[in-house]
Structure 1
């Protein structure tokens, strides 16, 4: 009787959980979550059912499944068509750079530096790029496909080794068959599957969950007969893991502490003046190779009245490891304030190519071309901008187009 009641409670709670999850997913229109739910709750049961059926029944259901998958793909694509088009752009740009980074990749931590430049070059070199791409190009260094991004980062050799490790991991046999083993295996496979359309592995909580489940899985399973490690070898491996973990913690703790202190400073929680001085700054000494920190620090120095050259130096250095729309925008306006027009033009040209639907950058670039007497470039850019489609109509865009139109008329009059 108690077992029946507990089963009823469990099923009720499980039903409520699924209902709440579905409500959240429908409201958020999360396409990855919808695909994951279909894969988890529909596909396994369908294949278990088809195992018992005749070949004709299997063929019929598989045909229906393929047609249903095609319809679902079309529905999910147009559910957020702008976002889908933006993701297609990122995939196309990334795939176009596969050949040059095929074997070794761009290197760990280098993708965030390379992708923005790739996207800017894509629009710079594409005279007649797709309007959808043009309007939906955004500021991102995550391409919503972890496998492709990982391949571009570590190359074919590193990716092949990773695939072998995953194959070995999932080939391990459970010591005791249990629901826990199946749950861990399916959860890890779902996380990997969702990585095809989302930046799952970039989320710290998910990484923690993967680490926990992998540790449990290694404990409750045994390796395949191909690779068996015993006795002293196991102890050596455990010792190496412990030593490398300790060394990693010791190496990164100072950086972790510096990041926390920097967070306090930039949010006004720590106003000790000696920590602001860029000439005697312990935080800067520790984080001077961190691109995100350098970008924030350069902007912080400018806002707190330090010399423009110091702020620009930090922002320029940050481009070595991290590039974002905001960083280049800050640089462009700082060079403009310094009256270094050629440097400002270089950065505004990059911004126009990186996010081509932004009217404000185009207006600034037209003004700069006029300042350096590059009338032909200014006129050409003004004509193109006035014919541009508008992504989101607003009074600001109308005002910018009106100003560009006025400048264009002036250029025509002067000529």
Structure 2
């Protein structure tokens, strides 16, 4: 009997430690020296160790005849600890002890985007609230938990992430309401609701006004996405549907709406900032229906769960739903880990009841997935290393590496773009065009079109280059570089009339980023061209 208890305890400790290591790795595997390489390590660490966790969990359930022993409280404290460590990481960046991973932001934590930093903290906040409410023994510990929750909210506010703040507040409120019957009675009455409704409207309005341009930019994206959905509503555009087609629709939108108020807000877009819309574009109503049914089932299972942590798991689910409405959380490794935790809790009872059948199937599936993951990992790691070394190695070595990797990574849109860019850099323009055209079937955006245009320009195809630059300009009308390149092509070809026309267009454009030195140089050169032409006309008239 004692041996059985020891085995159960060992399994529980192994699973708990493995999960915490999994989560910590998904957050803190990072390096300033080669961020992309370590981002690959972080992604594959999360997948492989996550699959290993599931395999060990299945072994645990089978060995204990349907019981899974997992210390949820310890795991939640581990997730919270990651949020606290991330806050200290950001403080070290703020005071210049550590470098930021994005030169445009003072601090980003262990990520290259402050929004992802805020995403992690919004996951940790409801956990702090949960333990603050559950702490009944020590008033000091209870106070520490509340201070921690408020501190995380302050960090989120300073990161200027509206979604992070909204997710943290709503999920924490959900935890507090679920845990406190007294609070529910106070809030869920007519007088309280009448008071809270205008406050909620004011909060949403302030969040919108805080970054109105950013919010309007997303409204533009969602509006264009609806045009895409109208064309293929049932099955969608396929796995690369959004990245291959969205910018083409954005170009068409501005072609038909040249005076749109969104002209300055449009940018190069590779994600709709809404996971549900991404599924809708790629897989249509069929895919979205499956997602919604799965989400409803998860929420139903969480409500049926009788454990004390039900409120915080509900809070974490709300965090992911809110982020899914306004961002791209499911491309972030630590979100996969939180999703794994939610699924483990939601389907724990189902798996325990059917462990004789479900555990072997899950075990074999995870083992196969792990082998496939490792098969994909090695070429991606090598590509990251080749990309990093390409600055110091000769073109023959770099291109031979890319040719070899192409066999394994030809379905990776980022690899194809990088391969095309390297070919362009080394002067293989025809080959670069071929690779970039292949890339455009998976990723067709402003950068791809500008690179193809530049290749065509170098091969002497002036009309083809102008066509590509015009296409890129329609994709992102606020950019100056496409028209600048067109102006220079007309100058080189001797078509002064067209060059002057484009120069006038450049001078009449609204400037999105006033301080951009590149934009200032382009405007100055366009002005000098017009001044030169006016001087020549004046001289001719005088003569």
Q: CA distance change for structure 1 residues 375 and 70 in 2, over 3 Å: closer, same or farther?
A: farther
**Residue of structure 1 equivalent to 2:265:** 136
* 1:71 counterpart = 2:202: yes
- Whether the 8 Å contact between 1:329 and 1:351 is mirrored in structure 2 is yes
Note the C-alpha offset of 1:331: 2.2
Structure 2: stretches of 5+ with no match in the other structure = 1-133
**Residue of structure 1 equivalent to 2:139:** 8
- Whether the 8 Å contact between 2:235 and 2:285 is mirrored in structure 1 is yes
- Whether the 8 Å contact between 1:173 and 1:222 is mirrored in structure 2 is no
Q: CA distance change for structure 1 residues 4 and 271 in 2, over 3 Å: closer, same or farther?
A: closer
- Whether the 8 Å contact between 2:135 and 2:141 is mirrored in structure 1 is no
**Residue of structure 1 equivalent to 2:522:** 400
Q: CA distance change for structure 1 residues 95 and 379 in 2, over 3 Å: closer, same or farther?
A: farther
Distance in 2 (CA, whole Å) between partners of 1:155 and 1:10 is: 49
* 1:208 counterpart = 2:337: yes
Indicate which of 439, 454, 458 corresponds to 1:333. 454
Structure 1: stretches of 5+ with no match in the other structure = 224-228
**Residue of structure 1 equivalent to 2:168:** 37
Deviation larger for 72-81 or 323-332 = 323-332
- Whether the 8 Å contact between 1:181 and 1:217 is mirrored in structure 2 is no
SS of the residue corresponding to residue 179 of structure 1 reads coil
Q: Could you state the TM-score of these two structures normalised by the residue count of structure 2? A: 0.65
C-alpha deviations, 1:171-225, integer Å up to 9, x for none?
Answer: 2277762222332232123211221112122212101220232123211x349xx
Matches within 5 A, 1:15-414: 15-42=146-173, 52=185, 58-130=189-261, 133-172=262-301, 177-219=306-348, 221-222=349-350, 235-268=356-389, 276-278=398-400, 281-303=403-425, 305=426, 307-369=428-490, 380-394=501-515, 395-408=517-530
SS of the residue corresponding to residue 236 of structure 2 reads coil
SS of the residue corresponding to residue 214 of structure 2 reads helix
- Whether the 8 Å contact between 2:263 and 2:477 is mirrored in structure 1 is yes
C-alpha deviations, 1:256-289, integer Å up to 9, x for none?
Answer: 2101011111111896988634499331111122
- Whether the 8 Å contact between 1:274 and 1:280 is mirrored in structure 2 is no
Distance in 2 (CA, whole Å) between partners of 1:230 and 1:50 is: 36
SS of the residue corresponding to residue 189 of structure 2 reads helix
Q: Could you state the TM-score of these two structures normalised by the residue count of structure 1? A: 0.84
Distance in 1 (CA, whole Å) between partners of 2:453 and 2:199 is: 50
Note the C-alpha offset of 1:323: 2.7
- Whether the 8 Å contact between 2:250 and 2:475 is mirrored in structure 1 is yes
Q: CA distance change for structure 1 residues 119 and 4 in 2, over 3 Å: closer, same or farther?
A: closer
Distance in 2 (CA, whole Å) between partners of 1:339 and 1:274 is: 25
Deviation larger for 6-15 or 366-375 = 366-375
Q: CA distance change for structure 1 residues 359 and 273 in 2, over 3 Å: closer, same or farther?
A: closer
Distance in 2 (CA, whole Å) between partners of 1:64 and 1:95 is: 36
- Whether the 8 Å contact between 2:280 and 2:288 is mirrored in structure 1 is yes
**Residue of structure 2 equivalent to 1:226:** none
RMSD after superposition = 3.3
Note the C-alpha offset of 1:8: 2.4
- Whether the 8 Å contact between 1:103 and 1:156 is mirrored in structure 2 is yes
Q: CA distance change for structure 1 residues 53 and 278 in 2, over 3 Å: closer, same or farther?
A: closer
SS of the residue corresponding to residue 207 of structure 1 reads helix
C-alpha deviations, 1:65-120, integer Å up to 9, x for none?
Answer: 33222222221122122222221211111122221121111112321112222222
Q: CA distance change for structure 1 residues 402 and 39 in 2, over 3 Å: closer, same or farther?
A: same
- Whether the 8 Å contact between 1:332 and 1:345 is mirrored in structure 2 is yes
C-alpha deviations, 1:113-171, integer Å up to 9, x for none?
Answer: 122222222212212211xx211211221122111222222111121122222222222
